[in-house]
Structure 1
Amino acid sequence: MNQVRVPIVVEAAIAAEAARGDVPTARSGRTIRPLARTSVLDVGSGGGILAEALARVGATVTGLDASAENVAAASAHSVIDPDIAERVFYEKLLVEDLAAQLAGAVEGSVAEEPLSGAAARAPAGGFDVVVSSEVIEHVNSPAMFVAALAACLRPGGVLVMTTITRTALSYAGAIFAAEQLAGLVPPGTHDFAKFLRPDELSGLMVDAGLVPALPEPIAYNPITGRWSRGGGRVVMQYALSGTKPLQ
Structure 2
Amino acid sequence: MQAPLSTVDPAEIEKFQAMAAEWWDENGKFKPLHMLNPCRLDYITNQIAGEFDRDLKTPLPFKGLRILDIGCGGGLLSEPMARLGAEVVGADAAAGNIPVAQVHAEQSGLTIDYRHTTAEALAEAGEQFDVVLNMEVVEHVASPIDYLIACRQLLKPGGLQICSTLNRNPKSFMMAIIGAEHVMRWLPKGTHDWSKFITPDELFDLLRNAGLTPVDRKGFVFNPITWSWRLSDRDLSVNYVTASTKPA
**Structures share a fold, TM > 0.5?**
yes
Report what 1:133 is aligned to.
135
Shift of 1:31: 2.9
CA contact (8 A) 1:4 1:218 kept: yes
CA contact (8 A) 1:64 1:90 kept: yes
Partner Cα separation in structure 2 for residue 189 and residue 29 of structure 1: 35
CA contact (8 A) 2:81 2:88 kept: yes
Partner Cα separation in structure 1 for residue 78 and residue 67 of structure 2: 9
SS of the residue corresponding to residue 216 of structure 2 reads coil
Identity level (%): 36
In structure 1, which of residues 178, 196, 203 is the aligned counterpart of residue 180 of structure 2? 178
Partner Cα separation in structure 2 for residue 208 and residue 153 of structure 1: 12
CA contact (8 A) 1:10 1:34 kept: no
Q: Where do 4+ consecutive residues of structure 1 move more than 6 Å? A: none
Shift of 1:32: 4.2
CA contact (8 A) 1:10 1:35 kept: no
Partner Cα separation in structure 1 for residue 204 and residue 65 of structure 2: 24
Amino acid at match of 1:48: G
Is 1:76 the equivalent of 2:88?
no
CA contact (8 A) 2:119 2:147 kept: yes
Amino acid at match of 2:192: H
Which aligned pairs between 1:105-184 and structure 2 lie closer than 5 A?
Answer: 119=127, 126-184=128-186
In structure 1, which of residues 174, 183, 204 is the aligned counterpart of residue 206 of structure 2? 204
SS of the residue corresponding to residue 186 of structure 1 reads coil
In structure 2, which of residues 93, 106, 119 is the aligned counterpart of residue 95 of structure 1? 119
Report what 1:226 is aligned to.
228
Shift of 1:100: 1.3
| Residue range with higher mean Cα deviation, 215-224 or 188-197 | 215-224
CA contact (8 A) 1:6 1:54 kept: no
- Looking at CA atoms only, which structure, 1 or 2, has the larger radius of gyration? 1
Report what 1:16 is aligned to.
51
Shift of 1:146: 0.7
Residues 217, 158 of structure 1: alpha-carbon distance in 2 compared, 3 angstrom cutoff: same
Amino acid at match of 1:35: F
Shift of 1:231: 4.9
Q: 1:96-115 CA deviation, whole Å, 9 max, x = no partner?
A: 1111111xxxxxxxxxxxxx
Amino acid at match of 2:98: V
SS of the residue corresponding to residue 235 of structure 2 reads coil
Report what 1:65 is aligned to.
92
Partner Cα separation in structure 2 for residue 209 and residue 29 of structure 1: 29
CA contact (8 A) 1:16 1:156 kept: no
Partner Cα separation in structure 2 for residue 28 and residue 129 of structure 1: 17
Is 1:33 the equivalent of 2:60?
yes
CA contact (8 A) 1:137 1:164 kept: yes
Partner Cα separation in structure 2 for residue 130 and residue 72 of structure 1: 21
Partner Cα separation in structure 2 for residue 32 and residue 190 of structure 1: 38
Partner Cα separation in structure 2 for residue 193 and residue 92 of structure 1: 27
Count of matched residue positions in the alignment of Structure 1 and Structure 2 = 213
